[in-house]
Structure 1
Amino acid sequence: MEPTAAVLFDLDGTLVDGRYLHTVCWWQALAQYGHRVPMARVHAALGMSVEQLLDEVLGPGRRPGEDDPITAAHTALHAQYWPALRPFEAAGPLLRECAARGWQVVLLGPAAARELAVLRRALAADDLPVGDDLLVAAGPPGPERLRAALALVDAAAEHSVLVADTVWQVRAAERIGLPCIAVRTSGIADEELRVAGAVEVHQDLGALLAQLNDSLLARPRVFGKVPGR
């Protein structure tokens, strides 16, 4: 029996245009609790889990007991933008083309149920199926969420691909031997993404779709072979 070849897409920041909103909301939430952190530093930490992000941006200034209220403040601020969230222009066509080529598509979503529901609705704006049968692995960013996503479809990392937009996601994929295609939808530089381990870097989803025949996503990869259509 041939193993499943899966392509994992991060919802927030890769398929749905919202990464910069998180930067602003974390920056404002931190300021509410007296932490004056440069916005660029916050942006560079996106793609981490909440605990890792706060540790990265606050360092020794992180105070016990503040994580939950800062996180709640971020969620409240970010919720103001939820009605405006939209998918990137090529998100729908790219997902449909990957499925048509034989890839098992799995989406990666946040652990918070409300935010996950919002992102699913945002993706639905592009006429994508977002019913209960949509395969979504929800949880904090990191290797464990990637492993859970692969387990959903009984896929092996070496036969699968992650499409993501931050350095931390690329590094998480590398830790479990999962090839990663990076897109610059969050404004991260090509060199940073490649140094982190990305095997391909594309300007956006449209550029990836246009170059799909020359990409790792050209065909599902099984045991190192490229099966015909």
Structure 2
Amino acid sequence: MNRAAMFDVDGTLVDTNHLHVTSWWEALRQAGHVVPMHAVHRAIGLPGEDLIAHLLGDDRDTDQDDALKAAHDTLYATYFERLPGFDSAAELLRTLHGSGWRVVLVTSAGSTELEALRRAIGADDAITATASADDVSEGKPAPDPVHHALDLADASAHASVFVGDSVWDMKAATRAGVTCVGVLCGGIPRRDLEEAGAGAVYQDPAELLARLDDSPFARVPQAQPTAGREQA
């Protein structure tokens, strides 16, 4: 039985949420849309098209969507070489990997952006696979990205844990039947994460690492060797 440790990236492992807020706010402003930054912040974690729909409504001029996403991507890309990983994020992934977990990143980021995020984390040796919104028909809060991550890890939902910072993360993992862990470093209040399905909430990756032995990760049984298979 494989165990999957699934992680959102933006706002969970890398301190990027407010960079996304600024980039989306400016992209929207340039297109003539006045959207409060707090509203943008609440939408971070949704795939680009869904974020735009969430902020501007379904009756918007959808012909603008591609230009808005391109403007956001261009603005955000200026930060690629200085994205800050959260303290202990890499150590957390390596600790789980070393304990037999299959670590999968579950993100809405595209390939170029994901490369920059992985550089910021600095733990490629601990990452088994990545699942992005591009790989599925629906992104978070639909369960599709989490189901895809489980497939990549060849793990079952009951033997897996998902860590994220947004309401969308918690809803996606809950709908997939996976135990949810929230972190506050993305800026979303504890109560909102708990109401969306978080079974435990930590300040950041450093606190989760420090408390790993009494976290939901500790309650998932270790894989048992298959009968007849030679043990290492």
Answer whether TM exceeds 0.5 for this pair. Answer: yes
1:12 maps to a residue whose letter is: D
Q: How does 1:48-67 map to 2 (within 5 A)?
A: 48-59=46-57, 62-67=60-65
Distance 2:98 2:222 in 1: 16
Q: Which residue does the alignment assign to 2:229? A: none
Report the CA distance shift for 1:28/1:112 in structure 2 as closer, same or farther (over 3 A). same
- Choose 49-58 or 179-188, whichever is displaced more: 49-58
Whole-angstrom CA distance in 2 between matches of 1:64 and 1:75: 18
Question: What is the deviation of 1:219?
Answer: 5.4
- Report if aligned partners of 2:104, 2:129 keep a CA contact under 8 Å in 1: yes
Distance 1:61 1:138 in 2: 27
What are the residue-to-residue correspondences of 1:169-208 with 2, within 5 Å? 169-208=169-208
Structure in which a larger fraction of residues adopt strand: 2
Distance in 2, matches of 1:113 and 1:92, equals 20
C-alpha distance after superposition, 1:159-217 (max 9, x if no partner): 10001110011001111111110001111101000000100011111111111111011
Deviation at 1:134, TM superposition (A): 4.3
8 A contact 2:182–2:200 mirrored in 1: yes
What SS class does the counterpart of residue 186 from structure 2 fall into?
coil
Bigger drift between 11-20 and 134-143 goes to: 134-143
Residues 17-51 of structure 1 deviation map (CA, whole Å, 9 limit, x = unaligned): 11110011001000111000000000001111222
Report how far residue 130 of structure 1 moved: 5.2
Equivalent residue for 2:133, pick from 127, 139, 162: 139
Relative to structure 1, the CA distance from residue 190 to residue 111 in structure 2 (aligned partners, 3 Å threshold; closer, same or farther) is closer
4+ runs of 1 displaced by more than 6 Å?
Answer: none
Name the CA distance, whole Å, in 1 between partners of 2:120 and 2:62.
Answer: 35
Following superposition of structure 1 onto structure 2, how do residues 63-142 of structure 1 map, counting pairs within 5 Å? 63-124=61-122, 128-129=123-124, 134-139=128-133, 141-142=139-140
What stretches of structure 2 of length at least 5 have no aligned partner?
224-232
Query: Residue 58 of structure 1: CA displacement?
Result: 0.8
Partner of 2:3: 5
1:146-165 map, 5 Å: 146-165=146-165
Residue 47 of structure 2 contacts residue 108 of structure 2 at CA under 8 Å; is this kept in 1?
no
Aligned partner of 1:99: which letter? H
For the aligned residue pairs, the C-alpha RMSD in angstroms reads 1.9
Question: Residue 212 of structure 1 aligns with which residue?
Answer: 212
SS of the residue aligned with 2:57?
helix
What is the SS of the residue equivalent to 1:17? coil
The alpha-carbon deviation at position 93 of structure 1 amounts to: 1.4
The alignment of Structure 1 onto Structure 2 pairs a total of residues equal to: 217
- Give yes or no for contact 1:91–1:205 (8 Å, CA) kept in 2: yes
How far apart, CA to CA, are the structure 2 residues paired with 1:18 and 1:50?
15
TM, length-normalised to structure 2: 0.87
